[in-house]
């Protein structure tokens, strides 16, 4: 199959060439679909002349920037594989990833120039330099050769965080990316009038695949946001007349506490989406008071990432639910005994559909562990209510077994967040000689509400079974985060271990 058959950006540029595809308010620039397609075509020709062929990896190390769309589409035209790198990782971590996927070319932003030059990649080009500008604005756009590309061939590799061990390269095919876009457009009822900001980093599936690519596929507009600051984010949402936005709970937490949020109206916003972690009820309530549509979603790099849909009106009733499966994917829950879960039962979440990944790059055993008979075993625990709505309970590996009883961290976190003095909370299991594991919590107290561990435990005891009440509580000013804005559970456990050691020394 010719690469032209799967080059969806070329198709969109042909259908709606003059519509604005991408804007960068900070740089004061905008690109139509025709311009975006031409930039990518010219970059593809440049890379081909530098020796990049079908199957070669092209890495990108940059903050949110139009170059993500240039590089991805250029790789599609060549049959090459796009590898966006997490610029927040250490040089050692990036070296491990580069050694794993062996990119033939590295595109980088000058902000990451020092790191880029330290990486062992033969070809390098700065995306904000004069050469890149000349390439994308005036280079030839005629490929020397056009390779045959199958829809199941690799299109991109996204590396997962790697905070618990070796980072895994998630291989997404052209089919997986297109299917996720089609499924999202149909299930979420996206239109060409959509305008979405990219607050999440575009090296992450949430910043690239969750909304940016589906919105471009339907002919909408993507607004590049290079960083997240609450006041600027609110201004951007209103000034750019955004209609749909995805953020993680940490961002929403900062957003609703900004003085600008109280005055903001968001007249064009159709839906606020939250993903990446369970969302506190406080955030639901803040949006409900303003009459704004708000809902949660669920996804993972290996599957889409989009898998569920819930109407915001239903989300206000079924708070905490991610909704029902989208139109073009399958979902089921399997209990520990291997049986399909009944309504109300908790089971591991399994996903199937053409949006699933091909496997982990260079890790066939890890792939076989999670891809079984066409089903992806996510490692996430969920339950389905009598109405068919799904609720994510937590990670299978993070379930706490204390005294023989199962404790789901998310349930305890939700109860903790009901306390007026608790701003943020994370619950994990820590080793315990008596109980096997003890329920432990790290809490960010509200600024004007001093707390003691005893007060928190008394509050929880009135709302939870005794075995679920946190036996260890540590207070911090802010929760440690990973490079993509999620809570760093590894560091959380370190904080708890350090607190325990300090207590034993007294």
| Listed residues 138, 173, 208: the one ending a domain | 173
pLDDT-derived band at 282, boundaries 50, 70, 90: confident
Write out the H or E segment, with its range, that includes residue 295. Answer: strand 294-296
Full residue range of the structural domain in which residue 411 is found: 399-505
C-beta separation of 112 from 129 below 8 A: no
**Does a structural domain hold residue 197?**
no
**Does a structural domain hold residue 299?**
no
pLDDT in tens, 325-335: 999 999 999 99
Distance in Å from the first CA to the final CA of the chain:
70
Q: What is the CATH number of the domain that holds 449?
A: 3.30.300.30
Residue 201 has pLDDT above 90, yes or no: yes
pLDDT, mean of residues 80-102: 93
pLDDT-derived band at 1, boundaries 50, 70, 90: low
**Does a structural domain hold residue 230?**
no
Residue tagged 């199937």 (tokens): 352
Buried b (16+ CB within 10 A) or exposed e, 6-22: bbbbbebbeebeeebbb
pLDDT, mean of residues 329-356: 95
C-beta separation of 237 from 446 below 8 A: no
pLDDT, mean of residues 165-174: 89
Specify the pLDDT at position 164. Answer: 44
CB atoms within 10 A of CB 50: 12
Rounded distance, CA 356 to CA 376, Å? 8
pLDDT-derived band at 46, boundaries 50, 70, 90: very high
**Does a structural domain hold residue 78?**
yes
Rounded distance, CA 403 to CA 107, Å? 52
pLDDT, mean of residues 178-188: 97
pLDDT in tens, 98-153: 999 999 999 999 999 999 999 999 999 999 999 999 999 988 888 888 889 999 99
**Does a structural domain hold residue 259?**
no
C-beta separation of 438 from 402 below 8 A: yes
C-beta separation of 424 from 253 below 8 A: yes
Q: What is the CATH number of the domain that holds 123?
A: 3.40.50.12780
C-beta separation of 131 from 147 below 8 A: no
In angstroms, what CA-CA distances link 324 with 268, 288, 297, 299? Answer: 26, 21, 10, 13
Least confident of 211-220, 265-274, 309-318: 309-318
Specify the pLDDT at position 405. Answer: 79
**Does a structural domain hold residue 260?**
no
Rounded distance, CA 238 to CA 103, Å? 40
Q: What is the β-pairing status of strands 195-198 and 221-224?
A: parallel
Specify the pLDDT at position 442. Answer: 96
pLDDT, mean of residues 32-53: 97
Specify the pLDDT at position 332. Answer: 96
pLDDT-derived band at 477, boundaries 50, 70, 90: very high
Q: At what angle do helices 8-15 and 67-78 cross, to 10 degrees?
A: 110
| Listed residues 147, 173, 199: the one ending a domain | 173
Beta strands (DSSP E) in 65-209 are 81-84, 105-108, 123-126, 154-159, 169-173, 195-198
pLDDT in tens, 422-470: 989 999 999 987 788 899 999 999 877 789 999 999 999 998 888 899 9
Instruction: Give the residue from 380, 374, 338 showing the smallest Cα distance to 359.
Output: 374
Specify the pLDDT at position 487. Answer: 86
Specify the pLDDT at position 2. Answer: 56
DSSP 8-class letter at 387: T
pLDDT in tens, 359-389: 999 999 999 999 999 999 999 999 999 999 9
Rounded distance, CA 207 to CA 200, Å? 5
Residue 163 has pLDDT above 50, yes or no: no
CB atoms within 10 A of CB 84: 26
Rounded distance, CA 240 to CA 223, Å? 8
Phi, psi of 384 (to 5 degrees): -120, 130
Least confident of 55-69, 161-175, 398-412: 161-175
Chain centroid to CA 401: how far? 28
Q: Which residues contact 8 (CB under 8 A, 6 or more apart)?
A: 76, 178, 181, 217
Residue 93 has pLDDT above 70, yes or no: yes
| Listed residues 146, 173, 200: the one ending a domain | 173
Domain tally for the chain?
A: 2
What the block records as the tokens of 201 is 């980093």
- Cα angle 315, 319, 325; round to 5: 55
Buried b (16+ CB within 10 A) or exposed e, 316-326: bebbbbbbbbb
Q: What is the β-pairing status of strands 105-108 and 123-126?
A: parallel
Rounded distance, CA 28 to CA 404, Å? 59
Residue 498 has pLDDT above 80, yes or no: yes
Beta bridge partner(s), residue 332: 350
Q: What is the β-pairing status of strands 308-309 and 294-296?
A: unpaired
Stated pTM of the model: 0.86
Percent of the chain with pLDDT over 70: 98
pLDDT in tens, 3-39: 667 899 999 999 999 999 999 999 999 999 999 999 9
Specify the pLDDT at position 165. Answer: 57
**Does a structural domain hold residue 179?**
no
Question: Hey, is 459 helix, strand or coil?
Answer: helix
Counting every residue written for the chain, the total comes to: 506
pLDDT, mean of residues 59-78: 97
**Does a structural domain hold residue 464?**
yes
Specify the pLDDT at position 162. Answer: 47
């Amino acid at each position: 199959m010719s690469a032209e058959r799967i080059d969806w950006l070329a198709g969109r540029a042909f259908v709606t060439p003059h519509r604005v595809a991408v804007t960068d308010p900070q740089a004061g620039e905008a690109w139509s679909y025709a311009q975006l397609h031409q930039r990518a075509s010219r970059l593809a020709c440049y890379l081909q002349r530098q020796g990049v062929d079908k199957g070669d990896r092209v890495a990108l190390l940059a903050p949110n920037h139009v170059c993500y769309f240039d590089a991805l589409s250029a790789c599609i035209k060549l049959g090459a594989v796009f590898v966006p790198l997490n610029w927040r990782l250490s040089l050692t971590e990036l070296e491990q990833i580069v050694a794993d996927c062996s990119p033939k070319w590295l595109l980088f932003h000058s902000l990451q120039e020092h790191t880029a030059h330290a990486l062992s990649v033969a070809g390098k080009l700065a995306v904000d330099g004069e050469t890149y500008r000349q390439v994308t604005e005036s280079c030839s756009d005629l490929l020397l050769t056009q390779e045959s590309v199958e829809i199941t061939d690799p299109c991109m590799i996204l590396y997962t965080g790697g905070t618990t061990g070796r980072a895994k390269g998630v291989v997404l095919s052209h089919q997986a990316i297109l299917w996720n876009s089609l499924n999202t457009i149909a299930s979420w009822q996206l239109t060409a009038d959509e305008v979405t900001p990219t607050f999440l980093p575009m090296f992450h599936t949430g910043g690239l695949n969750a909304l940016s690519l589906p919105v471009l596929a339907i002919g909408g507009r993507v607004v590049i946001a290079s960083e997240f600051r609450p006041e600027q984010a609110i201004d951007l949402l209103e000034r750019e007349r955004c209609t749909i936005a995805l953020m993680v709970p940490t961002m929403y937490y900062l957003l609703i506490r900004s003085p600008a949020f109280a005055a903001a109206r968001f007249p064009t916003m159709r839906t606020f989406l939250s993903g990446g972690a369970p969302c506190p009820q406080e955030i639901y309530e803040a949006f409900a008071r303003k009459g704004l549509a708000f809902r949660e979603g669920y996804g993972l790099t290996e599957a889409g990432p989009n898998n569920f849909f819930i109407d915001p009106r239903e989300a206000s009733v079924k708070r905490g639910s991610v909704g029902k499966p989208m139109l073009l994917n399958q979902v089921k829950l399997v209990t520990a005994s291997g049986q399909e879960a009944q309504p109300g039962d908790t089971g591991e979440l399994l996903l199937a559909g053409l949006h699933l990944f091909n496997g982990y790059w260079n890790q066939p055993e890890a792939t076989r562990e999670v891809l079984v008979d066409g089903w992806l075993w996510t490692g996430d625990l969920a339950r389905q209510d009598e109405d068919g709505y799904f609720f994510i309970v937590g990670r299978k590996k993070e379930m706490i077994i204390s005294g023989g009883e199962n404790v789901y961290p998310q349930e305890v976190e939700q109860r903790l967040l009901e306390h007026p003095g608790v701003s943020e909370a994370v619950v994990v299991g820590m080793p315990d000689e008596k109980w096997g594991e003890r329920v432990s919590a790290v809490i960010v107290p509200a600024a004007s509400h001093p707390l003691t561990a005893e007060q928190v435990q008394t509050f929880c005891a009135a709302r939870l079974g005794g075995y679920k009440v946190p036996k260890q509580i540590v207070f911090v000013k802010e929760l440690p985060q990973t490079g993509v804005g999620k809570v760093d559970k590894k560091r959380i456990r370190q904080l708890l271990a350090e607190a325990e050691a300090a207590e034993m020394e007294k």
